[in-house]
Amino acid sequence: MKKIFVISIIIQFSLPLFAQKANYCGADEMAKELFDSHPHLQQLMINRRAELKAFTQQYVSGRAGRNIDSLLIIPVVFHLIHTYGAETISDAQILSGLKVMNWNFRKQNPDTSTIVPAFKSIAADCEIEFRLASIDPDGNCTSGINRIA
């Protein structure tokens, strides 16, 4: 009995030694490393962010007088990083996911009857629709699906 107790204590205290950090993302460390080795890129990134902010402010101010009942269409691009293996997904899967997302944003999904009563009064059609982009930032045609091997 004593041996079982001792073994269970040892196992209990040794398990945390094998734990891994969940959901770790090294993006910040990689960005710092990149900017340390190429300082000019940091200023380029700051300039790009300023351009995006100015564009967004101009876009929003241009839509200030839009009809409240009009649908806001947001073009999206899916970037699929793969190695030609089972991890890649088909265009049909992407379109299916986009369809479900649009159903949810437009409150057209079939399970709206199961909304928790406390949230029924605030559930709404957001009048937002996501569509695959048809033009890239350079003005070229695109399918909205970018596969990167």
**Residues 23-50: tens digit of each pLDDT:** 567 788 888 888 898 888 888 888 888 9
Q: What share of the chain is helix, strand, coil (3-state, %, to 5)?
A: 50, 15, 35
**Residues 93-149: tens digit of each pLDDT:** 999 999 999 998 899 988 888 888 898 888 888 889 999 999 988 889 999 999 888
Amino acid at 112: T
pLDDT of 76 higher than 90: yes
> For residue 125, what are its two tokens?
């059609």
pLDDT of 4 higher than 70: no
Three-state secondary structure call for residue 145? strand
pTM: 0.52
> For residue 17, what are its two tokens?
């030694």
> For residue 142, what are its two tokens?
């695109």
Sequence-distant (≥ 6) Cβ neighbours of residue 79 within 8 angstroms: 146, 148
Q: Looking at residues 72-88, what average pLDDT do you find? A: 87
